[in-house]
Amino acid sequence: MIVAGDFRNGVTFELDGQIFQVVEFQHVKPGKGAAFVRTKLKNVVTGATVERTFNPSDKMPKAHIERKDMQYLYNDGDLYHFMDVETYEQMPLGQAAVGDALKFVKENMVVKILSHKGNVFGIEAPTFVELEVIETEPGFKGDTATGATKPATVETGAVIKVPLFVNQGDVIKIDTRTAEYMERV
């Protein structure tokens, strides 16, 4: 059990049959009345966020999210196949569990499979990936001072904004959390 007064960012717990992760929290002690904990919670299965206040003595069962390293093998229509890097067992996952988490993941990359009590609900891509630009417009000399960007398609098919000096064939580093260009490699 976890007490609401012990909430920290990243703590996961069960509430009303759902699993939530604390995104933000604030302990409030008003001049009058009892103290309370104001939180912003993310439903780890659906991704929805809600704001809720708790009494500091409220108790909830702690939810343990298992993160397991697995290698992304291939996609055959609706199923995405992953392999456990320790036991070499393969696991197919449907589109509902995968979502758009693989838009920056190439075959043979290692990702984290997220599950709760054996039920897979999501995938975490590596924080930074290096991908080749397969299509973009050529940049024009002298346009770099404006900080302008242009769309570029990377080898996984995802489209991101890149600076004008990035050309087709360049390998770039991407932050998968924000889908932003970091640097040329």
Write out pLDDT tens, residues 21-46.
Answer: 888 899 999 888 899 999 999 888 77
CATH superfamily entry for domain 66-124: Nucleic acid-binding proteins (2.40.50.140)
Find out whether 111 and 90 touch, Cβ atoms under 8 Å: no
Tell me the average pLDDT of the chain. Answer: 87
Q: Token pair for residue 89?
A: 């067992």
Which region holds residue 117: left if phi is over 0, alpha if psi is between -120 and 50, else beta? left
Percent of the chain at pLDDT exceeding 70: 96
Q: Token pair for residue 118?
A: 């054996």
Burial zone of 74 (CB within 10 Å; 0-12 exposed, 13-18 middle, 19+ buried): exposed
Give the start-to-end residue ranges of the domains of the chain.
2-60, 66-124, 129-184
Pairing outcome for strands 119-124 and 79-84: unpaired
Taking the model in full, what pTM does it have?
0.70
End-to-end distance of the chain based on CA atoms, in angstroms?
Answer: 46
Q: Is 164 helix (H, G, I), strand (E, B) or coil?
A: coil
More confident residue, 177 or 136: 136
Looking at CATH, the fold of the domain delimited by 2-60 is given as SH3 type barrels. (2.30.30)
Architecture of domain 129-184: Beta Barrel (2.40)
For residue 122, the model assigns a pLDDT of: 79
The answer to whether domain 66-124 and domain 129-184 are alike in fold is yes
Mean pLDDT of 12-26: 88
For residue 144, the model assigns a pLDDT of: 57
For residue 67, the model assigns a pLDDT of: 87
Question: pLDDT tens digits for 137-170?
Answer: 886 666 556 678 889 999 999 999 998 888 899 9
Scanning 51-184, the segments in alpha helix (DSSP H) are: 95-98
For residue 174, the model assigns a pLDDT of: 92
Nearest to 66 by CA among 9, 125, 128, 119: 119
Number of Cβ within 10 Å of residue 19's Cβ equals: 22
Residues counted in the chain: 185
pLDDT band at residue 11 under the 50/70/90 scheme: confident
Percent of the chain at pLDDT exceeding 90: 39
The residues facing 25 across adjacent strands are 39
How far, in Å, CA of 185 to CA of 182, rounded? 9
